[in-house]
Structure 1
Amino acid sequence: MAVFRALESTKPANERLFFDPFAGAFASRFYRTILAACSVPFVRKTFEAYIQLRWPGTYTAAVARTRLIDDMITKAVREDGINQIFILNATLDTRAHRLDIGMPVSFVEVNHPDTQNFKQKQIWGMLGNAEMPAVHVDYVKLDMSRQQLADTISPILLQKSRYKTLFLWEALTTSMEAAQAESLFEFIKSYPPGTQVIITYADKDVFENPRAYPGFSRIYKALRHAGENWDYGMNAGDVTAFMRERNMQLLYDGGADKYREQYFGEKSKCMKGYEYFRVMRSELK
């Protein structure tokens, strides 16, 4: 994902969906070399074609999904009064530093300690100059295999009379994460109405009928090789009822075909693969 964000950022301003000046810092030396060459359109298009061949649909879905969530967060802050963003399982997310929302927002990143330490080391050296002003972020260390979210967050960050909160959890794709997500829904029951949740997830059907989704088997093997063992999905048709049972109203749910069309328009008709990866946004009643 960091490489995809960095690749998108090599495009001219009038072509890219977003700009992430930090993403390249997380890439290996090999990928940084390629990304440096991607300022040349031919090289960039060749690299994009290679990604599509190896992992169908991943790049176009990833950048459209990133822009969609960026827009959801910005809208929630500007129009719905959200002033605190919890980024759960944040991995290498950089929204706290790159989103120009134009209004005061408190960002809280929840991450595995090892990932968080690596991320802070890479990103802090880039902050503080005129182009990349420092942004305060509250960091919470969480090892999902041993800890619960509610037990690790300082009460200072849970001032519900001061904050109107949005929780973002990208890639809810494992059984362990699903158990943590149930704890999250239980945790936010005490929050005031209007609290929002954005989750990305895989349609359960892709695990039950993998051959119906071209390229998934190859992507699944690549994910396992990278240590991401997807074993959890939700039935897309049941999401409305799923959220209603947790006292939440579904505001948005769509797969890659939907959000690619939103941002790529007619070009999206030629973009195939990764349709099973979905975004849902909901609000506490």
Structure 2
Amino acid sequence: MDHHAPSRTALMSAAARAAHLLVDQQPPIFADTLASALLGERADELLGYHRAFGAHPILAGARTTAVTRSRCTEDRLAEAVARRGIDQYVVLGAGLDTFAYRSELAHPVRVFEVDHPAMQEWKRARLTAAGIAVPTTVSFVPLDLEQGDLTDALTAAGFDTERPAVVSWLGVTMYLGTEAIGRVLSAVGALAPGTELLAEHLLPAEHRDPAGQLYAEQVHAAAAENGEPWRTFLTVEEMDTLLTGHGLRPLGYLRQRDTLVPQPWEERTDALRPFELSVLAHAVVPER
């Protein structure tokens, strides 16, 4: 990965979160107020597509996917902090995630952003250029998930393996092979009991609805052309087996339609609609 060229998928996800505040119905499903600032010189171009063609199924689908998975994850994190006193949050494949820089929860919660070293270098430069301060509660954990050891990297960054955490893994598993996915799940499954994982995975073609299949056909091809092909697709049953086999107990599988949106989906006046493409698996490390 060239440090002068950040992950295209990270840029597209950030643009979708930022554009949601500009082109979709209010109040928003998810408010990422800093995503636009991290787009840098690409902001006008990327947000311009959504402004001009926001109802296009692919752009609307990108926004739906980005905001629903973020909403579900941060809602779950807030609940874990409030009810269980969780104070460690691990973001796997953090990309341009902005939780640590905008959320009130970020103050009592130590955030560990895990990502490819080159992507982190680019993000940190963008944070500086945008005048966004990095809180002392943030630790950058440089790691290639395909090759590195997650436990060692987290420990070196100050993560306490004796205390539970919430771990999010959004928009990443589809770009990894099953061996790498298994290694990451093994590392998470070996963390302290009570640790929760929220991991997004893409469904195989036969488990998608027509809108999900249309989105997959077009976005998959574009991702491959840009050197970031989708590699792994998992049914809920397959993900369940993976989680169980690596020391985690599945708690449920959240779909876009399950998101707590401000208005019922059918009453929305914008182009956002849930579709069957990805699932957010929710699991916990059980008591040993």
Q: Does 1:70 align with 2:71?
A: no
Q: Which residue of structure 1 lines up, in the alignment, with residue 32 of structure 2?
A: 20
- Paired letter, 1:57: G
- Equivalent pair of 1:213/1:273 in contact (CA under 8 Å): no
SS in 1 for 2:72: helix
TM-score by length of 1: 0.80
Q: Which residue of structure 2 lines up, in the alignment, with residue 219 of structure 1?
A: 219
Q: Which residue of structure 1 lines up, in the alignment, with residue 179 of structure 2?
A: 179
Q: CA deviation at 1:156?
A: 5.8
- Equivalent pair of 1:127/1:133 in contact (CA under 8 Å): no
- Equivalent pair of 1:85/1:166 in contact (CA under 8 Å): yes
Cα 1:138–1:156, aligned 2, differ >3 Å: closer, same or farther? closer
Q: Which residue of structure 2 lines up, in the alignment, with residue 121 of structure 1?
A: 125
- Paired letter, 1:76: A
Q: CA deviation at 1:242?
A: 3.6
**CA deviations over 1:138-173 (Å, ceiling 9, x no partner):** 111112344222343334624234x32111111211
Q: Does 1:154 align with 2:165?
A: no
Q: CA deviation at 1:3?
A: 0.4
- Equivalent pair of 2:93/2:114 in contact (CA under 8 Å): yes
Q: CA deviation at 1:225?
A: 2.5
Q: CA deviation at 1:6?
A: 1.0
Q: CA deviation at 1:11?
A: 6.3
- Equivalent pair of 1:82/1:165 in contact (CA under 8 Å): yes
Q: Which residue of structure 2 lines up, in the alignment, with residue 104 of structure 1?
A: 108
Cα 1:100–1:75, aligned 2, differ >3 Å: closer, same or farther? same
- Paired letter, 1:276: L
Q: Which residue of structure 2 lines up, in the alignment, with residue 277 of structure 1?
A: 278
TM-score by length of 2: 0.79
Q: Which residue of structure 1 lines up, in the alignment, with residue 266 of structure 2?
A: 267
- Equivalent pair of 1:55/1:218 in contact (CA under 8 Å): no
- Equivalent pair of 1:206/1:276 in contact (CA under 8 Å): no
1:228-247 equivalences under 5 Å are: 228-247=228-247
SS in 1 for 2:151: helix
For residues 24 and 156 of structure 1, the distance between their equivalents in structure 2, rounded to whole angstroms, comes to 28
For residues 143 and 101 of structure 2, the distance between their equivalents in structure 1, rounded to whole angstroms, comes to 21
1:189-208 equivalences under 5 Å are: 189-205=189-205
Deviates more, 1:111-120 or 1:247-256: 247-256
Cα 1:82–1:268, aligned 2, differ >3 Å: closer, same or farther? farther
Deviates more, 1:181-190 or 1:107-116: 181-190
- Equivalent pair of 2:90/2:167 in contact (CA under 8 Å): yes
Q: Percent identity?
A: 20
SS in 2 for 1:275: coil
Q: CA deviation at 1:230?
A: 0.4
- Paired letter, 1:142: L
Q: 5+ residue gaps in structure 2?
A: 1-12
- Equivalent pair of 2:212/2:276 in contact (CA under 8 Å): no
Q: 5+ residue gaps in structure 1?
A: none
Cα 1:257–1:225, aligned 2, differ >3 Å: closer, same or farther? farther
Deviates more, 1:200-209 or 1:107-116: 200-209
Q: Rg: which structure is higher?
A: 1
SS in 1 for 2:125: helix
Q: Does 1:59 align with 2:63?
A: yes
RMSD: 3.3
Q: CA deviation at 1:188?
A: 3.5
- Equivalent pair of 2:30/2:68 in contact (CA under 8 Å): no
SS in 1 for 2:122: helix
- Paired letter, 2:54: E
For residues 106 and 140 of structure 2, the distance between their equivalents in structure 1, rounded to whole angstroms, comes to 22
For residues 267 and 28 of structure 1, the distance between their equivalents in structure 2, rounded to whole angstroms, comes to 35
For residues 251 and 37 of structure 2, the distance between their equivalents in structure 1, rounded to whole angstroms, comes to 34
Number of paired residues?
271
SS in 2 for 1:69: helix
